[in-house]
C-alpha cells in the first residue's frame, strides 16, 4: 500500500526548543500505582525522536499493510536516511515510482518487502523492479 503524498523531502527544521515535563515515575498499564509527582526533567520531542536532523524526515502513513507492526493509517513516521537498511528494519522506499512502507527481509537469499498484515502480499525484490530505499523508520507517532 502506498503512502500519502504529504512528504517532507528536505531536512526537517527544528522548531525552537519546547520543553515539556517528563515525570520520573512510570504509568502502570496493569494495576494502578500511586502517582509520583516528581518531574525528572524537561523533554523536547525533537531530542527524543530526531537523532540526526539533517537526515530525518516525516511521512504520514496510509493504508493498513503495516498494522501488525503498529503502523496505522494517518500515523506519522519518523524516517532516518542515515541508518543502514538491513533485514528486520522497517523502510520507506520508492517502488516503481510510488512510496511504500514495509519490513525489509531476506529469506533464503531472496530480498523482500514484507507486509505486516496477512491481507497484503509480500513483494519480492528483483532486478526488474525499480526500487530505491529512502530511509529507515525509527519511530511512529500514533494518536489514540
Q: So what's the pLDDT on residue 6? A: 42
Q: What is the CATH number of the domain that holds 58?
A: 2.10.109.10
Catalytic residue, candidates 65, 82, 89, 114: 65
What average pLDDT does range 136-140 have in this prediction? Answer: 96
Is 65 marked active-site?
yes
Residue 96: count of CB within 10 angstroms of its CB: 9
Catalytic residue from among 16, 24, 52, 102: 102
Instruction: Please say if 102 is a catalytic residue.
Output: yes
89: in domain: yes
Please report the pLDDT score of residue 31 as a whole number: 63
Give 88-118 pLDDT, tens digit per residue: 999 999 998 899 999 999 999 899 999 999 9
Sign of CA dihedral 123, 125, 126, 129: positive
Closest to 79 measured CA to CA, from 99, 107, 105, 106: 99
Residue 113 within any structural domain of the chain: yes
pLDDT of 25 reads: 60
Range of the domain at 97: 51-141
What is the number of structural domains in the chain? Answer: 1
> Is residue 14 included in any domain, yes or no?
no
Amino acid at each position: 500500500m502506498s503512502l500519502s503524498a504529504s512528504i517532507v523531502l528536505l531536512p526537517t527544521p527544528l522548531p525552537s526548543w519546547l520543553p515539556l515535563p517528563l515525570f520520573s515515575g512510570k504509568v502502570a498499564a496493569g494495576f494502578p500505582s500511586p502517582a509520583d509527582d516528581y518531574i525528572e526533567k524537561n523533554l523536547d520531542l525533537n531530542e527524543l525522536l530526531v537523532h540526526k536532523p539533517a537526515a530525518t524526515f516525516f511521512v504520514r502513513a496510509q493504508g493498513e499493510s503495516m498494522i501488525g507492526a503498529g503502523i496505522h493509517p494517518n500515523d506519522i513516521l519518523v524516517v532516518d536516511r542515515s541508518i543502514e537498511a538491513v533485514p528486520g528494519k522497517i523502510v520507506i522506499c520508492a517502488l516503481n515510482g510510488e512510496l511504500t512502507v514495509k519490513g525489509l527481509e531476506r529469506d533464503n537469499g531472496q530480498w523482500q518487502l514484507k507486509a505486516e498484515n496477512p491481507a497484503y502480499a509480500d513483494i519480492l525484490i528483483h532486478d526488474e523492479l525499480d526500487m530505491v530505499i529512502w530511509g529507515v523508520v525509527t519511530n511512529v507517532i500514533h494518536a489514540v
